[in-house]
């Protein structure tokens, strides 16, 4: 089928590169929820994970390939046979499967990381693409650290990759080193020098170490690239990847400047997708973040407010509704029925089974009793809490704290694990400290709180307090989670317990020997 030359393909890598962001790990079910929402957003390609990385990654990519219809489903593989076959097994059930193989090409990576000469790199890349091609037709190749690769060698690699059967060649700025004029030139030079370039689509994949990921990606499409690899909220390794919402809105709002280039993204779904990813990963969005930050459409100064009242376009370059921010998202109240509740959750991309839906509905009614106005963010939090409880090894049953100016803060906690019930109490420096210490005593999993941030999720004194925590476990990863409640100590305890649950399932996988297959070579 003929592809419109003005269409820019959106390749979302939130579930692969984004999930590599420290603390942003998602469980299997959460990955499916994000993938479902990305399909609603109408991205062209979902990079669902790195199947060789762990059995859990493999299972998540396979489940996404089986269940998510619409976008192409890609899996990542190094140029190594076992990676490629594993990736093929995972993506094969998809309607449109893709294998994405990568190999570093820059001098610095060749000499220090791979210890390989240029001709070896060329052979390994071509051989791997051919192997991948024996499983699926749609093959993407990425010369890792392309932006720091010698231009002649990069051109040779791209030509060889296309000759070997790559249908997409992605040019990554892996370390976020490039600047827009230079990165645009990299792409232009490839179009000028690679004879078979017309046989593949050129993508770009920019990291944000200098804060230029979006600018570099846009310079690349102006120079001829037709695919952008990006993540929701700019999530990703170190300073992150190019933010999908910023790229899409820049192309939309400045369409003339981009000479009619466009994406197929349903922009009115951007905000919901952003909230879902933030909620599930536990990664907060900075208030002044472009497009989806809480202040992105807030006008504070008197002069601006006056201008807005006279004519919105004086200070507003896009309507909040275009990205899915409604004037009010107040939708449900205490008289809303189960059907409306379920429907609203589904619109947000969340699918709960019958039992979870019933429990979530009970939580919603309980909250509606305490709080007059229920917003989408409240609903998202309720549903996520229910999913977390359903997945978790440990479930918080009861929490009581006593605190005050002249008392030693003490917490009593009751936790369930299946049919077992545990109860304990501890003192602490404050009510949160006491609650978390008690959780540590009960679960035997000890975490160090490295971050504890509190914000109101919606407006009003009766708003739920949202607590985001980052927890460092002994000889383990840093994990993040969020929870919200009208009681902020309970919110903190629930968020902390989510991290403990995630740690417990990582420990279970490690004990069952599942992690033995983790790649020994560094991952991208
Ligand atoms: O940043 C990078 O180079 C990558 C590649 C695997 C595309 O993530
Ligand atoms: Zn990357």
517 band by pLDDT with thresholds 50, 70 and 90 = very low
Would you call 50 helix, strand, or coil by DSSP? coil
CA distances to 58, 102, 132, 162, 463 from 125, rounded to whole Å, are 23, 8, 11, 10, 54
**By alpha-carbon position, which residue is closest to atom 6 of ligand 1?**
524
Backbone angles phi, psi at 479, to 5 degrees: -120, 150
Q: Is 167 within 8 Å of 201 (Cβ atoms)? A: yes
Q: Which atom of ligand 1 is nearest to the CA of 229?
A: 7
Mean pLDDT of 459-468: 78
Q: Residue 383: CA atoms inside 13 Å, Cβ hemisphere, count?
A: 27
**CA 129 to ligand 2 center in whole angstroms:** 19
Mean pLDDT of 495-510: 82
pLDDT of residue 25: 80
Q: Is 480 within 8 Å of 468 (Cβ atoms)? A: yes
Give the closest residue to 47 by CA, choosing from 213, 247, 244.
244
Q: Which atom of ligand 1 is nearest to the CA of 145?
A: 3
Q: Among 181-190, 251-260, 349-358, which is the least confidently predicted range?
A: 349-358
| Domains of the chain from N-terminus onward | 9-281 (3.20.20.70), 338-389 (no CATH), 392-511 (3.30.160.270)
Would you call 204 helix, strand, or coil by DSSP? strand
**By alpha-carbon position, which residue is closest to atom 1 of ligand 1?**
174
18 band by pLDDT with thresholds 50, 70 and 90 = very high
Cβ 524 under 6 angstroms from ligand 1: yes
Residue 454: DSSP 8-state = E
Give the closest residue to 194 by CA, choosing from 156, 153, 142.
156
Cβ 205 under 6 angstroms from ligand 1: yes
Compute how many other C-beta atoms are within 10 angstroms of the C-beta atom of residue 205.
30
Cα maximum dimension of the chain: 79
Q: What are the pLDDT digits (tens) for 108-135?
A: 999 999 999 999 999 999 999 999 999 9
Cβ 83 under 6 angstroms from ligand 1: no
Cβ 141 under 6 angstroms from ligand 1: no
The residue to mutate among 11, 108, 174, having the most atoms of ligand 1 within 8 angstroms of its beta carbon, is: 174
Q: What are the pLDDT digits (tens) for 243-258?
A: 999 999 999 999 999 9
Cβ 47 under 6 angstroms from ligand 1: no
**By alpha-carbon position, which residue is closest to atom 4 of ligand 1?**
524
Residue 301 pLDDT exceeds 70:
no
pLDDT of residue 523: 53
Residues across the chain: 524
296 band by pLDDT with thresholds 50, 70 and 90 = confident
Instruction: Spell out which residues have Cβ within 5 A of ligand 2, the ion.
Output: 17
Cβ 36 under 6 angstroms from ligand 1: no
Give the closest residue to 42 by CA, choosing from 267, 321, 325, 275.
267
334 band by pLDDT with thresholds 50, 70 and 90 = confident
**By alpha-carbon position, which residue is closest to atom 8 of ligand 1?**
524
Cβ 17 under 6 angstroms from ligand 1: yes
**CA 205 to ligand 1 center in whole angstroms:** 7
Cβ 143 under 6 angstroms from ligand 1: no
Compute how many other C-beta atoms are within 10 angstroms of the C-beta atom of residue 297.
15
Which ligand has the shortest distance to the CA of 172? 1
Residue 514 pLDDT exceeds 50:
no
Highest mean pLDDT among 60-69, 357-366, 416-425: 60-69
Cβ 174 under 6 angstroms from ligand 1: yes
Mean pLDDT of 204-225: 98
Residue 89 pLDDT exceeds 80:
yes
Backbone angles phi, psi at 144, to 5 degrees: -60, 145
Q: Which atom of ligand 1 is nearest to the CA of 146?
A: 3
Q: Which atom of ligand 1 is nearest to the CA of 170?
A: 7
Residue 520 pLDDT exceeds 50:
no
204 band by pLDDT with thresholds 50, 70 and 90 = very high
**CA 524 to ligand 2 center in whole angstroms:** 6
Which ligand has the shortest distance to the CA of 76? 1
Cβ 144 under 6 angstroms from ligand 1: yes
515 band by pLDDT with thresholds 50, 70 and 90 = very low
pLDDT of residue 331: 62
Cβ 177 under 6 angstroms from ligand 1: no
Q: What are the pLDDT digits (tens) for 413-424?
A: 999 998 899 999
Would you call 369 helix, strand, or coil by DSSP? helix
Residue 521 pLDDT exceeds 60:
no
Q: Which atom of ligand 1 is nearest to the CA of 207?
A: 1
Percentage with pLDDT > 70 across the chain: 93
Residue 516 pLDDT exceeds 50:
no
Q: Which atom of ligand 1 is nearest to the CA of 102?
A: 6
Reported pTM: 0.83
């Amino acid at each position: 089928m003929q592809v419109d030359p003005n269409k820019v393909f959106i390749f979302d890598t939130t579930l692969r590169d984004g999930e590599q962001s420290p603390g942003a790990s998602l469980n299997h079910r959460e990955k499916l929820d994000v993938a479902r929402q990305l399909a609603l957003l109408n991205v062209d390609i979902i990079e669902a994970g790195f199947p060789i990385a762990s059995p859990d990654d493999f299972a998540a990519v396979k489940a996404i390939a089986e269940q998510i219809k619409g976008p192409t489903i890609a899996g990542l593989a190094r140029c190594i046979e076992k990676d490629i076959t594993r990736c093929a097994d995972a993506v094969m059930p998809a309607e449109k499967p893709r294998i994405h193989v990568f190999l570093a090409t820059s001098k610095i990576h060749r000499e220090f990381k791979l210890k390989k000469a240029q001709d070896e790199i060329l052979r390994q890349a071509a051989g791997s693409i051919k192997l991948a091609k024996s499983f699926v037709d749609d093959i993407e190749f990425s010369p890792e650290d392309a932006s720091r690769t010698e231009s002649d060698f990069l051109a040779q690699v791209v030509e060889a990759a296309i000759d070997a059967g790559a249908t997409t060649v992605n040019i990554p700025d892996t370390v976020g080193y490039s600047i827009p004029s230079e990165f645009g030139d990299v792409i232009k030079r490839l179009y000028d020098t690679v004879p078979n370039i017309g046989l593949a689509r050129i993508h770009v994949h920019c990291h944000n170490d200098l804060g230029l990921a979006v600018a570099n990606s846009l310079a690349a499409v102006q120079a001829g690239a037709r695919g952008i690899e990006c993540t929701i909220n700019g999530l990703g390794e170190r300073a992150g990847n190019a933010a999908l919402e910023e790229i899409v809105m820049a192309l939309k709002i400045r369409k003339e400047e981009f000479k009619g280039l466009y994406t197929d993204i349903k922009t009115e779904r951007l905000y919901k997708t952003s909230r879902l990813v933030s909620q599930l990963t536990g990664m907060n969005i900075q208030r002044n973040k472009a497009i989806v930050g809480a202040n992105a459409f807030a006008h504070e100064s008197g002069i601006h407010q006056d201008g807005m009242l006279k004519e919105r376009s004086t200070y507003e370059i896009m309507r909040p509704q275009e990205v899915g921010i409604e004037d009010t998202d107040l939708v449900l109240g205490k008289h809303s029925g189960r059907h409306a509740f379920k429907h609203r959750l589904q619109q947000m991309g969340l699918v709960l089974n019958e039992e979870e839906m019933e429990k979530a509905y009970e939580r919603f009614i309980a909250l509606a009793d305490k709080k007059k106005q229920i917003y989408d963010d409240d609903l998202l939090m309720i549903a996520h809490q229910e999913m977390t409880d359903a997945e978790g090894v440990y479930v918080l049953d009861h929490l009581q704290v006593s605190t005050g100016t002249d008392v030693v803060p003490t917490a009593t906690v009751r936790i369930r694990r299946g049919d077992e019930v545990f109860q304990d109490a501890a003192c602490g420096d404050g009510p949160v400290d006491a609650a978390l210490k008690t959780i540590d005593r009960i679960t035997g999993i000890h975490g160090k709180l490295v971050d504890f941030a509190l914000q109101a999720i919606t407006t009003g004194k009766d708003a739920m307090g949202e607590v985001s925590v980052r927890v460092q476990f002994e000889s383990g990863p840093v994990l993040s989670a969020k929870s919200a409640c009208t009681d902020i100590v309970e919110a903190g305890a629930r968020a902390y317990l989510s991290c403990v649950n995630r740690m417990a399932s990582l420990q279970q996988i490690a004990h069952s020997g599942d992690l033995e297959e983790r790649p020994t070579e560094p991952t991208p």
